[in-house]
Amino acid sequence: MVANIQEKSLYLPRLAKMTKKERFTEKEMFFEFRFDDGSNLNHRPGQFVELSIYGIGEAPISISSSPTQQGYFELCVRAVGRVTNYLHKNLDVGSYVGIRGPFGNGFPYEKFKGYDMLFICGGLGVAPLRSLINYTLDKTKRNEFGKVYILYGCKNNQEWLYQKEVESWLNRADVETYLTVDKCTDSNWKGNVGVITTLIPKVNFDVNKTIAVICGPPVMYKFVVLELKNRNFKEENIYMSLERKMKCGVGKCGHCQINNVYVCQSGPVFDLPTVRKLQEAI
Amino acid sequence: MKPRVAFFDFASCEGCQLSVINMENELLDIVSHIDIVNFREAMTEASDDYDIAFIEGSVTREYDIPRLKKIRENAKFVIPIGACACTGGVNFRKNFYELNEIRYYVYRDSAKYFDTFATRPVKAVIPVDFEIPGCPINAKEFLSVVKSLLIGKKPEIPNYPVCVECKLLGNVCMYDKGEVCLGAVTRAGCGAWCPSNSSGCEGCRGLVDEPNKNSEIEVLTKAGLTVEDAIQKFRIFAGYFEEVKK
Amino acid sequence: MQGYILTMDSLRNLVQELMKTYKVVAPVKKETRFDFCEIEKFDDIRLDYDTSILPPKKYLSPPVETLLRFKRSENKAEPVFDTTPVVLFGLHPCDIKGIKHLDQAFSENNNYDRHYLAKRENALIIGLECLPYDYCFCSSVGSTFAKDGFDIMLIPIGDSYLAEVGSKKGEELLKRIQAKPSQELDIKKAEAFKSEKEKKIVRRFNKVNASTVRDLMQRTWDHKHWKELEERCLACGSCNLVCPTCFCFDVQDEVHINLDDGERRRIWDGCMLVDFAKVGSGENFREHRSQRLRHRINRKFNYLYDRFNSPTCVGCGRCVRACTVKIDPVEIVNELSR
Amino acid sequence: MNTNMNINVHYVTRIEGHGNIVVDIKDGKVERCLWEVIEAPRFFEGFIRGVYYKDVSEIVSRICGICSIGHTTASIRATEDAFGYVPTEQTVTLRKLLLDGETLQSHILHTYFLAAPDFLGAKSVFAILPTHLDIAKMALRLKRIANDLCDLIGGRTIHPIREVVGGFTKLPTERELRDLKKTLETEALPLLDKTVDVFASLLPKIPNFSRETEYIALVRDDEYAFYDGDLGSTDAGRTDVHNYKSWTNEYVVPHSSAKWTKNKRESLAVGALARFNLNARLLLPKAKAAAEKLGLRPINYNPFMNNIAQVVESIHAVEDALIQIDKLLTRGIKEEKVDSMPLKEGQGVGAVEVPRGILIHDYTYDRTGHIVHANCIIPTNQNCANIEYDMKKLVPEIMDRPQDEIQLMLEMLVRSYDPCVSCSVHMVKVNFK
Ligand SMILES: Cc1cc2nc3c(=O)[nH]c(=O)nc-3n(C[C@H](O)[C@H](O)[C@H](O)COP(=O)(O)OP(=O)(O)OC[C@H]3O[C@@H](n4cnc5c(N)ncnc54)[C@H](O)[C@@H]3O)c2cc1C
Ligand code: SF4
Ligand code: SF4
Ligand code: SF4
């Protein structure tokens, strides 16, 4: 029927060893994994893996480290269900998990060369964007991009992910970082209070040479896009990474389908004009 | 250390506990993974030191409440098993009658000896961790929950209707045979037990989330039931659900 | 349409010959209906069946299919490929088209699903021309006749069958049982049968056809009819599960009672079910029944059109038959195009 | 000699349902000796009113999980009786086969899992697993075979699905029946032979106690009755089941409020021993031989021997199952459409023998096939009085033993009746201070 078929199962993961595990918040943890043979994942920022634990299941998780970081990859996982809770509670450094992927298209960063970068991250949305942020900020790549703006919002002051790194962004002269919390529950918090859209007016970007990249909870997209449009942002310069339910990661199981696209194949990264054509995307 | 497991019963037929005892082929394997420390139907000893409490039966009297609260304090996981415990089961039918009238109807002069109140499921009294519905529970599902607990995975009871399992099995639909069936609005997990035996689903596992009850009643009446009988049909097992109470 | 002639006896011969080396699956009677089952003898087969409860795809992509076997303590897993040779016998043209869609779906984008393909490569398909029954509407979706996708196609001509050859394997088989080549007259009869079939199809789209139904769908995405169906649809998923071209699945792990060995399985899933598009954050991307129904119907007539170059509905009518409230793609299309 | 003692067993274990034993001994005199049932009442007879006939058996099946096949059968028979419907021969044969399955599974459960630990000095079947694994495996296998039978004929063991008013929704195939027959012949019978040996070896541990009482069971001239028959009594001869009320007089005793039944004496007994005492001559050959070997002869007045009668009946059940299977195979399984019922106003009674004794359902229907009145007579109810009278006779006889031994003996006594108080159809709670 079809020539040149791989004799492998699409669903068979390879093993990776957990080499770091660190708690960020009550719900989110940071993990570092390595393959025993030292090989790289060879991913693009914005891609994801299917993380697999035999007996428990599989879950798609964004790769949070930049491909410029060699020999390992990082994930940030929120405990919501079977796989994610098991990873949090039952597995420790030294344990193995299954990895399939990387899957998805990832960010077309070649196209971003020469542009200023505006990152808009809501909550866990920082996980996939961090991969691209760190790629952009990597000393070997930094000169390929212009200014870097990072907008990052959380529910409250207890919810920051990658706190140390966020501090380092705040301290970098070549990055403008803006933080906000939805609700101020902590008197130590001196920064902005309000949803992430309230940060956008504060940023002085040049709409002619800036790429906006958005990732966050589903409700966020519409409002961020609206706010960017208010600032005359060009639609084709707005990119977003979408979340959908996924079971296979290889364009078969159908759960991630939005109209005629499968998010795991054509996404999870889309530019706004494409998203506009999809009726159920945001 | 092996997890310590306890079974408790309230107003019930004890068929759910029996379903556990009836797992002859698996029983020896199960007891190799757990310590059963409380199982009145099968053993004399009893202990208050347990991790997992399976509760059968519905709550029908004052006396049950402190007992349940104690169980909640002792156990890490409280898991109601069976329709009685999860939704009141057939016992809930009592609530559709006038309480005093039904007491006197059944016990006449001796009715005064009964303290009884409207039937309620366990979760109406204490918080529960998850439920295994069904009348009786399906041993396969019970086993799968136990296995999940043992390996540290959150057990999952399906949120799709019995129709799904019925179709997966390739059964002839009951409506095709001129019989009625509640499979389209009833939570799956039983393996479409009744339809697979050529008998319409009676809804013993309770309704799925967001059941389209009006449409289902229309289906039942089109199949020949009166509206009254169609509602009665839901009340065999699913009286507890808001959609049916009304 | 050059082919061979099979009398009832030679058909029996053929099946018996096949049963020696293959698991033969064919339509048999099941209570009030028919279904594809492994047969024990030729006489089990009901050549006069209308449609089966489940599509024959269940032998290529089973309702529950083991993908991997694993051992937790060793973190080891092995894929499971089923290579049992199977004959799918008596498939109507719509189901043959359905399998063609699956062939594509499971090998698209360089993602070859060996679990499906291993079964598919070991399957022989013997088709059977049919007449319409109460629910089907193949002419509206262009699946009335199968041009390919089979090894042999049987067309009734009186007491015998014209066996059309669809593959080398099919041809060899027919030669092995020494079937006689067909004559001019046989071919005429077969053509007559087919045009008779076409005439008998009464359920059809009123205003659109297989290639324009897609534009209709795009125009009517916001039509109020979808909302009307919200009231009726039970969101039971039956329509998905009986469809020959639904291939969505869920994946679940099951461990053995020793808590160490286990299997990763895929199970048919359906986009009509409430959790299908619901994610961990609680967001449900198709929360309402009407949205899910619109998704399903669009998936059949619109969303996948570009990939498959045709509607993915094959007009078998199973979904209508399975639906207790008789939600019917034909009625929907006709209502939308009114 | 104990002069003062209080025994208060809260929740007798290893029985179906909840029951308490209370014994007060003061100055060497038994002051109180009570068997109280504390099961939460569930009001089946109340809430079955208004139910359509098709749903009735399914609801009342939930009276008791362990006797659910019996309840379903009795219910269906009462309904068919009310409508004057006569089931087909195939249906009756299948129902008998199904009852055999229930008898076997329940008796094996009771003798091996609930009663045997007492004889082996253990507190539960789990405790005897390490020491008696072979026996446990044997019992598990036997029980599985019985449950497989129930699954095959009834669709499932607990709350059967296939058995409905008018017939069966789904029939076993002939191949399935042949496989079952083979299992019964090659596995069940040999395992039961061994069972007889096991219990023969336990005979010396069975307390030597007896008290004359009236035994009541279904009787027939031609077979050891389970499915149908007349009411039979060791004291009062025989009567049609429709007259059941004149025999099962329910009454309330002053010191307790449990509803008890009596006929000719202060109490009566039903169950395996009652059936044996009335019908022993009709036992099938292997069961007869087993009774002989186990020293069980009618009339036996030792309630502890009920366990032995259960062993004997287990063998009978398998022999009878084989007869019913042969009947089905000879006739060939035929699809019979479950008929629609000729609905009519009126009363119907259905009585069957369940493992614990005679079970009677009595319904009155209206014209539209909805229940207007229902009454269920549950075996355990009928035994209640007998249990207490046994206790009253037993306690003085064993008063010189240590308290825990007395307690165990009393618990064993209660357990020997295999009471299924979860039924609680008619149970009255005792408010006991
Ligand atoms: C492209 C992509 C990237 C993602 N990146 C991250 C990440 O970096 N970090 C992170 O913590 N999470 C991420 N997620 C979400 C993550 O996949 C889900 O939270 C995870 O699958 C839940 O798995 P579980 O086994 O723990 O939960 P389950 O027990 O499977 O389910 C719990 C709940 O999650 C829903 N759910 C099941 N499967 C999925 C799924 N595949 N996607 C979303 N919801 C699902 C269920 O409907 C259920 O409501 C990403 C999802 C996608 C699609
Ligand atoms: S849920 Fe049903 S089977 Fe279980 S105890 Fe209650 S009545 Fe019995
Ligand atoms: S369309 Fe019909 S079969 Fe499909 S989900 Fe709705 S009710 Fe069920
Ligand atoms: S949508 Fe319905 S008619 Fe079309 S192929 Fe699927 S089941 Fe058949």
Residue D26: the pLDDT is: 79
Coil, helix or strand at residue C152: strand
Q: Hey, how many other C-beta atoms are within 10 angstroms of the C-beta on D201?
A: 10
CA of C281 to the centre of ligand 1 (A): 8
Q: Which of A107, A212, A215 is nearest to A153 (CA)?
A: A215
| Rg (chain C; Cα; Å) | 21
The verdict on A132 and A228 lying in the same domain is yes
Q: Hey, how many other C-beta atoms are within 10 angstroms of the C-beta on D175?
A: 9
- Measure the CA–CA gap between B101 and B108, rounded to whole angstroms: 9
Beta strands D214-219 and D268-269, pairing class: parallel
The verdict on A229 and A130 lying in the same domain is yes
Structure tokens that stand for C138 in this block:
């193949």
Number of H helices, E strands in chain A: 7, 15
- Measure the CA–CA gap between C223 and C240, rounded to whole angstroms: 22
* Beta carbons of A245 and C276 less than 8 Å apart: yes
Beta strands B4-9 and A116-122, pairing class: unpaired
Q: Longest Cα pair distance anywhere in chain C, in angstroms?
A: 68
Residue of C nearest to A248 (CA): C251
Which of A103, A134, A162 is the last residue before a domain boundary? A103
Do the Cβ atoms of C35 and C25 come closer than 8 Å? Answer: no
- Model pTM score: 0.91
Chains touching chain A at 3 or more Cβ pairs under 8 angstroms?
Answer: B, C
Which of A48, A71, A103 is the last residue before a domain boundary? A103
Q: Name the packing angle between helices D306-331 and D174-183 (round to 10°).
A: 150
Q: Does residue D373 belong to the interface with chain B, where contact is any CB pair within 8 Å?
A: no
- pLDDT average, residue stretch C252-280: 94
Residue B164: the pLDDT is: 96
- Measure the CA–CA gap between C252 and C275, rounded to whole angstroms: 15
Length of chain A: 282
Whether the ω angle into residue C244 lies within 30 degrees of 0, i.e. cis, is: no
Relative to the CA of C232, which ligand 3 atom is closest? Answer: 7
Q: Which of D313, D320, D321 is nearest to D153 (CA)?
A: D321
Residue A1: the pLDDT is: 44
* Beta carbons of A81 and B152 less than 8 Å apart: no
Q: Say how many Å lie between the first and final Cα of chain D, rounded.
A: 27
Residue C1: the pLDDT is: 57
Q: Which of A120, A107, A114, A110 is nearest to A228 (CA)?
A: A120
- Measure the CA–CA gap between B135 and B15, rounded to whole angstroms: 8
Average the pLDDT over each of B209-218, D56-65, D139-148, D380-389 and give the range with the smallest value: D380-389
Question: Which of left, alpha, beta for A212 (phi over 0: left; psi -120 to 50: alpha)?
Answer: beta
Amino acid at B161: P
Q: Which ligand is nearest to the CA of C210?
A: 4
pLDDT bin (cut points 50, 70, 90) of residue D257 is very low
* Beta carbons of C234 and B161 less than 8 Å apart: yes
pLDDT bin (cut points 50, 70, 90) of residue B110 is low
Identify all chain A residues contacting B151, using CB atoms and an 8 Å cutoff.
55-56
* Beta carbons of C257 and B30 less than 8 Å apart: yes
- pLDDT average, residue stretch C282-309: 92
Interface of A with C in 82-111 (CB under 8 A): 84, 96, 98
Q: Which ligand is nearest to the CA of B167?
A: 3
Q: Which of D198, D266, D272, D279 is nearest to D234 (CA)?
A: D279
Q: Does residue D422 belong to the interface with chain B, where contact is any CB pair within 8 Å?
A: yes
Mutate to test the pocket of ligand 4, among C204, C301, C316 (most ligand atoms within 8 A of CB): C316
Q: Would you give per-residue pLDDT tens digits along chain A (282 residues)?
A: 444 444 689 999 999 999 999 999 999 999 999 999 999 999 999 999 999 999 999 999 999 999 999 999 999 999 999 999 999 999 999 999 999 989 999 999 999 999 999 999 999 999 999 999 999 998 888 889 889 999 999 998 888 899 999 999 989 888 989 999 988 887 888 888 889 989 888 888 888 899 999 999 988 999 999 989 988 889 999 999 999 999 999 999 999 999 999 999 998 999 999 999 998 888
Q: How many CA atoms, within 13 angstroms, populate the side-chain half-sphere of residue D424?
A: 26
Q: Does residue B153 belong to the interface with chain A, where contact is any CB pair within 8 Å?
A: yes
- Measure the CA–CA gap between C274 and B188, rounded to whole angstroms: 13
- Measure the CA–CA gap between D316 and D279, rounded to whole angstroms: 12
The verdict on A97 and A118 lying in the same domain is no
- Measure the CA–CA gap between B182 and B206, rounded to whole angstroms: 10
CA of D139 to the centre of ligand 3 (A): 47
Identify all chain B residues contacting C325, using CB atoms and an 8 Å cutoff.
215, 218-219
Q: Write the pLDDT tens digit of every residue in C37-60.
A: 999 999 999 999 999 999 999 999
**Structural domain includes residue A1:** no
The verdict on A120 and A177 lying in the same domain is yes
Nearest CA residue ID for atom 3, ligand 2: B136
Complex ipTM value: 0.90
- Measure the CA–CA gap between C227 and C221, rounded to whole angstroms: 11
Give the residues across from B161 on adjacent strands.
B187
List helix spans (H) across B88-179.
99-107, 139-151, 162-168
Do the Cβ atoms of B174 and B126 come closer than 8 Å? Answer: no
Q: How far is CA C184 from CA C162, C181, C188, D326, in A?
A: 11, 10, 6, 58
The verdict on A18 and A96 lying in the same domain is yes
Residue D8: the pLDDT is: 67
Q: Which of D72, D75, D65, D70 is nearest to D17 (CA)?
A: D65
**Structural domain includes residue A23:** yes
pLDDT bin (cut points 50, 70, 90) of residue D35 is confident
Q: Which of B200, D309, C81, B110 is nearest to A5 (CA)?
A: C81
- Asked whether the predicted pLDDT for residue C2 surpasses 80, the reply is no
Burial of B244 (0-12, 13-18, 19+ CB in 10 A): buried
Q: Does residue A14 belong to the interface with chain C, where contact is any CB pair within 8 Å?
A: no
Domain around A173: 109-241
Domains and their CATH numbers in chain D: 44-424 (1.10.645.10)
The verdict on A224 and A119 lying in the same domain is yes
Q: Cα dihedral sign for C43, C48, C52, C56?
A: positive
Length of chain C: 338
Structure tokens that stand for D115 in this block:
């009663």
Question: Which of left, alpha, beta for A177 (phi over 0: left; psi -120 to 50: alpha)?
Answer: beta
Do the Cβ atoms of D208 and D221 come closer than 8 Å? Answer: no
- Measure the CA–CA gap between D2 and D405, rounded to whole angstroms: 12
Please tell me what DSSP assigns to residue B89.
Answer: G
Q: Hey, how many other C-beta atoms are within 10 angstroms of the C-beta on A8?
A: 10
The verdict on A129 and A209 lying in the same domain is yes
List helix spans (H) across D159-206.
174-183, 189-202
Which of A103, A135, A163 is the last residue before a domain boundary? A103
* Beta carbons of D155 and B193 less than 8 Å apart: yes
**Structural domain includes residue A206:** yes
Beta strands A192-193 and A257-258, pairing class: unpaired
Q: How far is CA D206 from CA B89, D183, D303, D380, in A?
A: 40, 32, 10, 22
The verdict on A88 and A152 lying in the same domain is no
- Asked whether the predicted pLDDT for residue D129 surpasses 80, the reply is no
Structure tokens that stand for D292 in this block:
């002989």
Q: How far is CA C308 from CA A214, C18, C120, C148, in A?
A: 32, 32, 19, 15
**Phi–psi pair at D319, nearest 5 degrees:** -60, -45
Q: Hey, how many other C-beta atoms are within 10 angstroms of the C-beta on C229?
A: 19
Do the Cβ atoms of B187 and B133 come closer than 8 Å? Answer: yes
- Measure the CA–CA gap between C35 and C23, rounded to whole angstroms: 16
Question: Which of left, alpha, beta for D50 (phi over 0: left; psi -120 to 50: alpha)?
Answer: left
**Structural domain includes residue A95:** yes
Do the Cβ atoms of C94 and C138 come closer than 8 Å? Answer: yes
Share the mean pLDDT of chain B. 88
| Rg (chain B; Cα; Å) | 19
Residue spans of beta strands (DSSP E) within chain A: 14-23, 28-34, 48-53, 57-62, 73-78, 96-103, 116-122, 148-154, 175-181, 192-193, 210-215, 238-241, 257-258, 261-262, 269-271
Structure tokens that stand for D111 in this block:
């003798």
The verdict on A62 and A182 lying in the same domain is no
- Percent of chain C whose predicted confidence (pLDDT) is above 90: 91
Number of domains chain A is built from: 2
Domains and their CATH numbers in chain B: 4-151 (3.40.50.700), 162-245 (no CATH)
Q: Does residue B151 belong to the interface with chain A, where contact is any CB pair within 8 Å?
A: yes
Length of chain D: 433
| Rg (chain D; Cα; Å) | 21
Number of H helices, E strands in chain D: 15, 14
Average the pLDDT over each of B36-40, C290-294, D84-88 and give the range with the smallest value: B36-40
Mutate to test the pocket of ligand 4, among C248, C319, C321 (most ligand atoms within 8 A of CB): C319
The verdict on A212 and A169 lying in the same domain is yes
Do the Cβ atoms of D75 and D61 come closer than 8 Å? Answer: yes
**Structural domain includes residue A20:** yes
